[in-house]
Amino acid sequence: MAQKKHKPEEIVAKLRQVDVLVSQGRSVSEAVRSIGVTQFTYYRWRKEFGGLNTDQVKRLKELEKENERLRKAVSDLTLEKLILKEAASGTEGPRRRNYCVRPEQP
């Protein structure tokens, strides 16, 4: 069965719903079951999104996505720099041998 990908706004709403149910006297396990997730997922969400409101969660996700994009760009540029540095120094690593086939002489 495919896992559902919850949007950050949905996660915050579900966390608030569990808080309301617990304050009404239900146990955490009952409240979590009523929102349709496992306790493990609930506690992971609470750890990640616990004190945030919806706008803050959106901003956090945008920043995480931008951070990942920038890390990839730095990695690519570092690799390009190494390649250019190696090409400029004239070293090719292990010596390449140029083998050629001599044409047959009559």
Q: How high is the pLDDT of residue 55?
A: 80
From residue 93, alpha-carbon distances to 42, 54, 77, 83, 87 in Å are 53, 53, 21, 11, 10
Q: Where are the domains of the chain?
A: 8-86
Q: How high is the pLDDT of residue 32?
A: 93
The predicted-structure confidence for 11-31, as pLDDT tens digits, reads as follows: 888 998 999 999 999 999 999
Q: In the chain, pLDDT over 90 holds for what percent of residues?
A: 43
54 and 8 Cβ atoms separated by less than 8 Å: yes
Euclidean distance between CA atoms 22 and 88, whole angstroms: 66
The predicted-structure confidence for 82-95, as pLDDT tens digits, reads as follows: 999 888 887 555 55
H helical segments located in the chain: 8-23, 28-35, 39-49, 54-89
Query: Whole-number mean pLDDT of the chain?
Result: 84
Please give the model's pTM, rounded to 2 decimal places. Answer: 0.52
